[in-house]
Structure 1
Amino acid sequence: MKNFSLAFCSLLVFSFTFNSCTKDEVVNFTDTNSIVASATIDGINELDFQTGTQVTFENALSKTTSATNVKSLLGACAVVTIDNVTPNSFPKIITIDFGTGCTTNGITRKGKLKITLSGLVSTPKSTMKIERENYYVNGMKVEGVILYTNETTTAAVPQWSRTITNGKLTSVDGSVYFNSGSHTIRQTEGASTPLILADNTYEMISGDHMVSKENGAKLTLSVAAPLVKKYDCNYVSKGKLNVKGPLLNGTLDYGNGDCDNKLTYTHENGIVFNLTM
């Protein structure tokens, strides 16, 4: 998400009417905007989750101790307030106010994130609810509620469910994308070093994400191979999603583990398109 912008404003527009068409011949009818919008939405959701995780960590709301040298996702300009500072007393509401613009790690955010904790986020069955209030990421307005529920059964492998409701992304050109979905997310690295966030790796191991452009067709993106997100990388760096829609049916590939913003979409007829978040 570094230098995060909706590159899909300039993506190729293409059609898959005939399997025998070449890449140059399949331009003009359908676009991949919703695919890139979905990847962008997932990226922002991960950013907000990491932000919530870091804030709770730094305020001793995820572990019994908060000691870390991880790079800040907030910077000096964001203001963090907690309504209930009594130790081990819940619920707690954390408000992160980015004001009229706060840039950190190449990402500019404004507005507020409201994070409600039912308990320590490391405790099974506890929840973290993330709400957006007039919230923007690099000029894109982001709406919706994300609910994380701790479903850990083995301490060495923390796991959460993530549900998105009333999701809405408004791009800088005014295009609107609605989204919702549920996923299971597992921490696969870093659980043995609870005082360090930077070595954490998370994988989205299952679930579906629905995205539809305003007055447009709906796409369903399902996990085909776990999406890998390292805490110290701004991007999902590995994994695949199956894409299903009226015209777009294929696979979205996040790559082989390199930390970059590159994606490839392969349609069912074998045509490959390179995309950028």
Structure 2
Amino acid sequence: MKSNLFKFSLIALFFLILVGCNKDDTEDQLVTSFTTEETELNAKVDNTTEVISDTFLQVYEYEESAVKSPIHPFLPDCATITVEDTDTSKEVTVDFGTEGCEVRGGHIVKGKVNMSYVVDTEAMTRIINYTLEDFFVDDVQFVGSKIVTRQKANDNGNPQYTMSLGLTVTFADGTQASRTGSKVREWIEGSFNGNWGDNVFLITGAWETNFKNGSTHSTTIITPLRREASCRFLVSGVVELVRTNYSGSLDYGNEECDNLAVFTNDNGEEREIRL
């Protein structure tokens, strides 16, 4: 009897251990899936916001250039530009329509970008306001506005744009997030040569992304992100990520144009992320 009871106890103990291990494994898998999914979503927001910045800078620099081509060198033919000038101000609207236009890099952009600023050709800095109206990049919707401080030349002698962020992002599946913070874009190559395709920017800054489910993502660029106009993705740079349930860093690579980045958590574990 004692022998049978002992055997039963061993079996019960083994079963409990097995169930406990399976539960831990399942929880680990769920956490891994959750963190990877949210990291990918956050990286996609980072990448698509650069498409907005590209559009804004292309239009602004074209409007302020001394010589204008009758055909816009940066935007597709399906985009319509409307300009209202006064002696002291300018308002510019770019309408990509409801069907959308394919811009450089292969992204489909829909909706309008409205920008306004005071005209002062002597000023070394200029404040530019712009808002987004029914605006989509691919299947991601952006709602909000930005204030951009544009410097003719920073300490390195390069044009620079400091952007305050205030955006709400909605993905195709209904997932929603809001983003606040600021970033700085330094134009390090190709400025004012009339060829947008060879332009290169370095991006620094920090921001916070709040998901509707309560998760908060804080992002700080620790190695400047490199944005090349010839590539639809960020090509290098490292950001530090602090999340509700995990932390780590996201490395965009070594200047290769691909849709991959590597997330490394605080334990040193690496996972490939698709942008």
TM superposition score category, shorter chain reference: 0.7 to 0.9
Specify which structure has the bigger relative contact order, considering alpha-carbon pairs within 8 angstroms and separated by 6 or more residues. 1
Q: Which amino acid aligns with 1:117?
A: Y
Alignment partner, residue 168 of structure 2: 168
Distance 1:241 1:69, change over 3 A: farther
| Deviation for aligned residue 1:143 | 1.0
Alignment partner, residue 146 of structure 1: 146
* Greater Cα radius of gyration, structure 1 or 2: 2
| Deviation for aligned residue 1:39 | 2.2
Identity rate, percent: 23
| Deviation for aligned residue 1:95 | 0.9
State yes or no: 1:199 paired with 2:198: yes
Q: Which amino acid aligns with 2:197?
A: A
Q: What are the residue-to-residue correspondences of 1:71-82 with 2, within 5 Å?
A: 72=74, 74-82=75-83
| Deviation for aligned residue 1:141 | 1.3
| Deviation for aligned residue 1:43 | 2.1
**Structure 1 residue matching 2:134: 3-state secondary structure:** strand
Q: Under a length normalisation based on structure 1, what TM-score does the superposition of the two structures give?
A: 0.79
Equivalent pair of 1:114/1:130 in contact (CA under 8 Å): yes
Distance 1:276 1:120, change over 3 A: farther
The structure where helix makes up a greater share of residues is 2
Q: Under a length normalisation based on structure 2, what TM-score does the superposition of the two structures give?
A: 0.80
Equivalent pair of 1:121/1:150 in contact (CA under 8 Å): no
Distance across 2 between alignment mates of 1:103 and 1:183: 26
Q: Deviations over 1:13-57 (max 9, x none)?
A: xxxxxxxx99x9831133334333332222222212221222233
**Structure 2 residue matching 1:156: 3-state secondary structure:** coil
Alignment partner, residue 108 of structure 1: 108
Distance across 2 between alignment mates of 1:92 and 1:42: 29
Distance across 1 between alignment mates of 2:255 and 2:247: 24
Distance across 1 between alignment mates of 2:246 and 2:123: 40
Distance 1:201 1:214, change over 3 A: same
Equivalent pair of 1:101/1:108 in contact (CA under 8 Å): no
State yes or no: 1:56 paired with 2:60: yes
Distance 1:35 1:144, change over 3 A: farther
Structure 1 unaligned residues grouped into runs of 5+ = 1-20
Distance across 2 between alignment mates of 1:248 and 1:119: 46
Alignment partner, residue 258 of structure 2: 260
Alignment partner, residue 28 of structure 2: 26
Distance across 2 between alignment mates of 1:70 and 1:55: 9
Distance across 2 between alignment mates of 1:261 and 1:121: 40
- Among 87, 90, 98, the alignment partner of 1:92 is 90
Q: Which amino acid aligns with 1:77?
A: C
Structure 2 unaligned residues grouped into runs of 5+ = 1-23
Matched length: 247
